[in-house]
Each structure stands twice: as C-alpha cells, then as structure tokens.
Structure 1
Amino acid sequence: MSRVSRRALPGFGLSLGYTVTYLSLLVLIPLAAVVARAGSLGPAEFLDAAWTPRARAAYLLTFGTAGAAALVNVVLGLVVAWSLVRYEFPLKRIVDALVDVPLALPTAVAGLVYATLYAENGWIGQYLVPLGVEVAYTRLGIVVVLVFTGFPFVVRTVQPVLADLDAEAEEAAAVLGATRWETFRRVLLPTLIPPALTGFALALARGLGEYGSVVFISSNLPFQTEVAPMLIAARLEEGPASYPAAAAIAVVLLGISFALLVVVNLLERWAQRHAG
C-alpha cells in the first residue's frame, strides 16, 4: 500500500514554481545580463575597465566604509536591542518604531539631511569643523550615512533572539558565582554571535550597494570619496560605449561581495554549532 505524503499546506509544486520564476526574473536574469555584457569584453579589455587605479580606489573605499559601518552597527544594534528587550522606559514604543525609520525614509533624503547637518555652517557641523572634525564630503560622512541605513538590520535581527533568551539562565549563573562579564561571555555571547553575524552581513550588503545617501554626503572625488556604485553611474553617464566597462566594474563588485557574504555565512553556521 503506497504512502500518501500529506503536507499542512497544499500546492508545494505551484508555490515552488512561482518562487523559482520570480527569483529568476528579479535576480538571476538581471545578474546574468550584467555578466553577459561584461563578457563582451576580452580579458585584457576587462582588466583595463575593471582594474584601473581609479576602480581599485573605489573598491577599497566601498568595502572599507561598508565594513566599518557594519561593525559600528553591530555594537549599536546590540545595545539598542538589549535596551528595548530588557528594560521598560517612557516612550519605549516610539523608540522601537524609530528604529525602522531608515527603512522607510528615502536614502537620498537621508544623505541630503546629513550633508546639511554636518556642513561647515550646519547645525552640527558648525561645532565640529572648528574642532577639526569634518563629516560632510569626507570618508567619515560616508561611514555615518551607512551606519544610518544599516542600523535597523542589526537591531531587528538580534531583538527576537534576545526576547527568547531566558533570564533564569543569567540568574543561575549569578547564583553559581559567575561575574557579569563571565555571564555575558559564557551564557549570552554564544547565543548572540549568530544573529549579530547575520545583522552584520545584512548591513554590509546594504552598505556595499548604497548610492542614494552617499551621493549627497560625498563630494564624489576620484581616489578620495568615490565609491564603486558612483563609479558605475559615472561610466553609464558617459554613454552606451562605456556600458561594458560599467558592467565589468559591477561584476567585480558583485564577485567580491558574494565572497564576503559566503565567508560571513560560514562563520554564522560555525557560531550556531558552537552555541549549540
């Protein structure tokens, strides 16, 4: 007698078909088109377009600022998520809602606001510039706006994990004589590392492709404040003849980004096994 496979929700084949179709239309086909356009160049032409000194400076700035912003977001996100989960304070719901503002606010608006605030005569910049701290139109400004755009990803990734943590485990550690640092390192940290790495990966991915906010806070100077997405846009503005060069830069950026995300995912899986 044959066994009939029963699932809680019917239509698995249809759902899988829709998933593969939309994934292909929205992700795989556009990426394949970019690779195909870059592939129209020969190996020497590809290197000439994607590995120029200007392009290498843009790659270094892109990954450096995105990585620095993601690290800052991990620290800030852990603190904010901990405060929202473990403490009660006035206007807590409003603060919780404000975490999602960077997701709803157009990034171009965020970049314009930060450039205005931190300009030499801005509300904040007028106090920082005399001290020698320049934010607007500098690399520091790029990091600041990337922290703003990537911040919610860390908070929303860590927050559910903190909410599921049992406070009794911390109390038991304290009763057994563990200090606060030992409790954090042995009880909390192994559980928080996987979601923190996930939040780091999401914030990093957002920062690598960010354009709208960076274009306003950065002066877009080659070799100084020009990130890779802005270099791609510059190549596209040169006309159809430069489209393959823009695609080549995009392929290099995509390849390095994919490799970094794979490494982060491997670290996340290792941390999950270690926590288990």
Structure 2
Amino acid sequence: MTDFDVLVVGGGWGGYTAARTIAQHGGRVALVEQDKIGGVCLHRGCIPTKALLETAAIARQVRRAPAHGLKVPPPQLDWPQALDFKNSVVDKLHAGMQQALDLAKVERIDGTARMTAATEVRVAPSAGGATTEIVAKDLIIATGSQPAGLPFFPVDGARIITSDHAIDLPPPARPIIVGGGAVGVEFASLWTDLGSDVVLLELQPQLLPQEDADIARTLATQLAARGVDVRTGAAIDADSVRIGPQGVQLEIEQDGERHALSGDVVLVAIGRRPRSDQST
C-alpha cells in the first residue's frame, strides 16, 4: 500500500493540470491513467480536429485559387499523410505533457483505478499483474467524458460512429451528422471541405443551441454556402432507422413535413456524458 498527499484519477487536461500544479507546490502526487496522458482533448478531440481542420482549410483555399488568377490542379486528399500530420501534432504535445509531469516529480501509474474507500483506490495495471492499493490524504477524480449515444443508433464503429472513430477514419462520401453542437459542426466543416456530401441534423431550432442566435444563423448560412445540407428543428423518427451493408436510411420530421434521408455513415454527435460509471 502506497501513501500520497494527493491521488489524481484521470490524466486528461483537468487531472494533468491538478497533478502538476500540486506537485510543483511540494505535494507528493500520484496520477493514475488507463490510456494516454492528455485525455480526450489531446488525442480524440480539440487538438486532432484542429489539425485536420487546417488540412481542410488549405484544400478549400486551393480550390479558390483560380478566382485569384492562379491556375492549380484540384487538391487531392492523401489521407495517410493527413493522419501523419495530425498525429505529429498530437505526439509533440503528448511528449511535452509527459516531460512536464516528470519534471514536477508526479508518479504516473498506468492502470484502471477503482475506489475502495473515500481516499483509497485499487489499481489494476494496464500491463496486467497484481493490483495495487493506493491511499492518499485527498483524492481528485478527473475521469473526463465520453460520447453520449442514442438507443436507435447502436455504435459499431463502421456505419454508426462517434467522434472517437471519426478522428481516424477517411472522410465518408455521404455522412449524416446527428447533432449540431460544437462536435457536429466541426466535422461538417471538415468533411465538406474534404469532399463529403454532408447532411447536418439538429433537433433544436438552431445550430449551437447554447450559443447566441445571431452567431448560429451566420454559421448555418456559411456551412450551407459551402455545401452542407443543414437541417434544424429536425426530429428523427426512431422507428424509421434502417442500418444495412449499403448504409443507413432514416426519416425526419421538419416543419410539419417528413423527409427521407440516406447516407453511408451516421456520426452521433449529440454531446458528451461524464465517465462517472467507471474510473480510469
């Protein structure tokens, strides 16, 4: 059994910042993480999407070159190279975070933590082997979040995906994005600039429902001008959903009318929920 001043469960941005700051102020800190330091934001969210959005923005600019008197061939996507660029950005930041924890003398523990008391956890090592009991004066739970789901869209990583899958998959030809929040509009922008025929569905009357209405209208107008089929106030008929080898079919109700839609992939992007059902 090992004693610490503070035990941090979860090595995303929140857990990393807490562990590093406390250690820099003299605390003896352990950080338990079952995956990689940096969490969702660094590996499957904010950072990799911004890297890919940069690739997409360059493609969009190249297509606009003739309007500025430049004769260039249409851009062609080299997806493995785009992934290499995205991964290089992530890897550099990941290495920096690990180095910062080492310099702060945070003890990193690779494994899955389960609480056994208010400030005590049992850690199962990621590499296997015997569990370890860890006791601390204080415990910080920073286990982050995971994509929220819909019962009529069972995620399989192929036809029905979340952003966790989308970040590494080639842009689908005809994606349907369910959810017009930050994640949904990011992938709508990314995929349409890389050549996808995107349908973006949002149940609420506007995209980005938690943001200012004027901003949401401007965003919807800009996405539509770039080719995204934006549908707000769109309710999916759960009974109409059909998932098969050829793709996904569904019906929506919008403004009192029903519309049939089909795509090769559905990205479920209705938000995120806490990973409170498990430790990390």
Name the one with the larger strand percent: 2
| TM norm structure 2 | 0.25
TM-score with structure 1 setting the length: 0.25
Greater relative contact order structure (CA < 8 Å, 6+ sep): 1
More helix by percentage: 1
